[in-house]
Amino acid sequence: MSLESTKKLDVDDILTDLAHYRPKRKGWHWREAHPNGKQEGSYQYEEISKPLSQSVPLPAGRYFDHIDPQPQEIITAEIASGRFEDDIRRMRMAAWHGADHIMVIRTLGQSHFDGLIEGTPEGTGGVPITRKEVRATRKALDLIEEEVGRPINFHSYVSGIAGPEVAVLFAEEGVNGAHQDPQYNVLYRGINPIRSFVDAAVAKTLMASADILQIDGAHNANASSKVAWKVMPELLVQHAINSAFSVRVGMDKSLISLSTVPPMTSPSPSFRLNFVYALTIRELFKEFRFRAQMNTRYIESDLFDATRIHVLDAVLSRLTQADIQSTITPDEGRNVPWHINSIRGVETAKHTLVAMDGMKKYIGPKTEVLKDEMRDLKIRAILYMEDILENGGYFEAVEKGFFVDSGYFPERNGDGITRKKDGELGAGTVVPRETDYYAPVCHHYGYNALPPGVERACDPIGGCTLDHPEKIQFVDELDENDNVDVRRATVRESESKGMLKPEVEWKNDGIIQLDITIPDNPDIAEAAALEIANRLGLEEPTVISKTILHPAEATYVEIKARVPFFVDRSALRLPEKNVTLSEEEITRYVHENPLRVVAGTVGNDEHSVGIREILDIKHGGIEKFGIKYTYLGTSVPVEKMIDAAIETNSKAILCSMIITHNDVHIEEMRKIHQLCIEKGVRDRLLLIAGGTQIKNETAVQAGMDAGFGRGTKGIDVASFIVKTFQRKKAGD
């Protein structure tokens, strides 16, 4: 089984014979070195990795021979649709855009489970927690990584009271990375502190056996604190505790990654605060890896604001260090985990990192200027740790509310999170092992009384499931109503008939997004936008974002709503694709049949960039094929365009039209056509219009021979001119 780039991923094929599928590889994979001196196209890079065999380049890539340089950092796509059959489709999209760390996050609360929920419906947690979901996802990723030519790391959470059981599942099924942080369980999941650390020791041992990368969760302190920058000393302490504990348990430092998040964002002086923190943590923990995540604490529902935060945080990553660049999207702030926003997050990270390639050479940190602030932060963290020890240790410190206090240490305001050492979930479940305690499994943490002559604990049972996966008992989904087969049954018919609905998250969800600007205050604008959606026949319209342009003048509103109908794929009328002649064919024809054109921006239009790119050899314009041109400039009267064409004996007029208010572009095209008729030259001149809003159909209806819109290149225009004259000659 393999994937074809022109065909959809077949979910039913992924689910076929899943009980016998085994992952093709295990363990975390870092990006590989670039194979040929980091040369991509005409450009030399310093911080890129091996390119993909198939990908979707950044939008501007078409201007650069479609190169798609991949930064050296792993890029994360975070996915949380709650349906793994739709998640794997989004994973394929993300991989084509450059993601190689697929993190499936919970939507409801996998961390709250008190045991491993084998065979339960995926919808309970939004995270692959059942074996079927994990295995189906890994099977799909095995195919996707073959398609794009790069290993894809699959990641989820080893947390909650079920942490050790989940770690076994992940080690068996080829999961490559996982969050594991006992302090996260204590502070944010209310799990008994002793139970959390005991479970963590077992889970980390199992993760280490399968080379699963560990990411901690210390950054949650600045996501939940009252004032994020004040917990910076605590963040350093939390990272230190978790890293030291992980090493002590037996994890390799190269597979321990600190999750670091810039604490602040604008309008605070965020970059300075974040920069000092980033440099400090990287200096203190230089033996470990770093996973940089964007700040989500202050994200609300504005897509563009979230993107601005993302860009600045990625700049910080490039100026300091990030082994993994995470891409949490605006969905975090508005709870709409959509396909497009996952891809936007990946592209934002890739765009920023590639754009800043080699930048540290020129604007590296001036540590002399920053050393006093970095030293102050380190001292606060050291004193914080000493305070914990003086108060009896970590468990006592948690009980006294040391963590996520709103004071900037040594200040404390007494509002930190408190957890009882002898209370919370799972309290009293940790008991001493008897002297003859024996667990017949390998990679087992702690005391294990092996029988005489036994070297590996699992030898007496012929090996455990980590060594012999054929012993794994595959449990299918047990819920009769909420399972992938039931969900797939509702979409199979529409798929077989080629019926389409728009989607943002799930197959056939029918959701669309409308952007509307209403010239009134936010309350009126919201009501008006909902009324517009209702009159359009859309169902369940909901406002997901409002941006005030002025308290009285206007409000920008984003709405999501449901389309109540399908579209028949087979009945669609597809636009004709413009097939261009080769550069050699065009050049040869022009050499044998010299061509000249006149060009300019007509009417009152002052825009000249687009037409210059169509003309000039520098931009691959028609000049490169030998076509001569007379450029008349901007705001050229229609009559002057025609007279110039007559005087220069040109064969075509190229009219650029960017301004389209009140259909002024259509009027200008009609004028050109009509005046050419009046002057008796319409039959000898090709009339070609171009502009971002120009459509060929509209241009032809207005009397032009062709219209070219956004994305047009010189070869498109040159090819049309040559093919038109070739047809005329053949007709003669």
Rounded to whole angstroms, the Cα distance separating 634 from 601 reads: 5
Q: At what angle do helices 232-249 and 270-284 cross, to 10 degrees?
A: 30
In percent, how much of the chain has pLDDT > 70? 93
Rounded to whole angstroms, the Cα distance separating 710 from 697 reads: 14
Is 80 exceeded by the pLDDT of residue 41? Answer: yes
pLDDT for the residue 158: 86
Is 50 exceeded by the pLDDT of residue 112? Answer: no
Give the model confidence (pLDDT) of 476-517 as tens digits.
877 788 788 988 998 999 999 999 999 998 999 999 999 999
Query: Mean pLDDT in the chain?
Result: 89
* Residue where the block lists tokens 């050790």: 164
* Residue where the block lists tokens 């365009």: 641
Is 90 exceeded by the pLDDT of residue 295? Answer: no
Rounded to whole angstroms, the Cα distance separating 701 from 124 reads: 56
Task: Please state which CATH number belongs to domain 11-43+58-357.
Answer: 3.20.20.440
Q: What is the torsional sign of CA 378, 384, 387, 391? A: negative
pLDDT for the residue 689: 93
Q: Three-state DSSP class for 370?
A: helix
Least confident of 106-115, 220-229, 445-454, 656-665: 106-115
pLDDT for the residue 252: 96
What angle (nearest 5°) sits at the alpha carbon of residue 171, between those of residues 460 and 446? 55
All structural domains of the chain with their residue ranges: 11-43+58-357, 501-571, 583-731
Average confidence (pLDDT) over 435-456: 93
In percent, how much of the chain has pLDDT > 90? 69
Give the model confidence (pLDDT) of 540-578 as tens digits.
999 988 999 999 999 999 999 999 999 999 999 887 777
**Which pair of tokens denotes residue 223?**
């996501």
**Which pair of tokens denotes residue 507?**
């197959």
Amino acid making up residue 75: I
The domain defined by 583-731 folds into Rossmann fold (3.40.50)
Give the model confidence (pLDDT) of 377-430 as tens digits.
999 999 999 999 999 999 999 999 999 999 999 999 999 999 999 999 889 999
Give the model confidence (pLDDT) of 74-111 as tens digits.
999 988 777 889 999 999 999 999 999 998 865 433 44
The set of residues, in sequence order, having a beta carbon less than 8 Å from that of 304 and lying 6+ positions away, is none
Average confidence (pLDDT) over 577-604: 90
Give the model confidence (pLDDT) of 213-261 as tens digits.
999 988 888 888 888 899 999 999 999 999 999 999 999 999 999 999 9
- The CATH number, out of the four listed (3.40.50.300, 3.30.30.60, 3.30.499.10, 3.40.1780.10), of the domain defined by the range 501-571: 3.30.30.60
For the stretch 195-201, contacts whose Cβ atoms lie closer than 8 Å and that sit 24 or more positions apart, written own/partner, are 195/161, 195/425, 195/426, 195/427, 195/429, 195/430, 196/426, 197/245, 198/430, 199/161, 199/163, 199/164, 200/163, 200/245, 200/249, 201/245, 201/249, 201/445, 201/446
pLDDT for the residue 527: 97
